[in-house]
Amino acid sequence: MTLERRIVPPGEDDYLQAAWELKEAIREEEGLLKQRWGFFADAYRKATVHAFFDGETLAGFAAARGDGYILFLGIDPDYRGRGLGERLIAAIAEDATGVSCHARVSNRNALEFYEHLGFERVRRIQDYYEDGVDAYYLRLGDSDRLLERLTELFGR
């Protein structure tokens, strides 16, 4: 699989519509990523966005603040299981001193994914999401571990 990595700096909105459409497809299919357009677009424009494209198809993206906090991470279901999520996290880790995020306590796939990469559950936050669902605040415990793992997987 040959994917092209593209980076959107803060203040730009390249690929915003494609990212929104992918997020909405995930929401409709899995009941996740429930953010509204205004919130999503505002956060997207303030973030650095790392995206991978297969031709003109958005395979996955991650939007992160400068401090490494992941605002959104979405992978097209057709591209899952190929290490794309790990590559996106690694791209964020390259530019930040730490990496962190929130995940729904009910989102087993996300929790397993992040913990597989070395993220640790720091705390549970009650009623974090608009729909009243709790979240875990997760932080990458050892960024060197992630980089070592990616070197093993991708020969980076």
Residue 87: give its domain's CATH number. 3.40.630.30
Evaluate the CA torsion angle 17, 23, 28, 32 in order and state its sign. negative
CA 104 to chain centre: 13
pTM: 0.86
Tens digits of residue pLDDT in 109-153: 999 999 999 899 999 999 998 888 899 999 997 656 666 655 665
Burial of 48 (0-12, 13-18, 19+ CB in 10 A): buried
Nearest CA to 10 among 53, 61, 52, 65?
65
Q: Is 103 helix (H, G, I), strand (E, B) or coil?
A: strand
Number of domains the chain contains: 1
pLDDT tens digits, one per residue of 67-120? 999 999 999 999 999 999 999 999 999 888 889 999 999 999 999 999 999 899
Q: Which domain holds residue 42?
A: 4-154
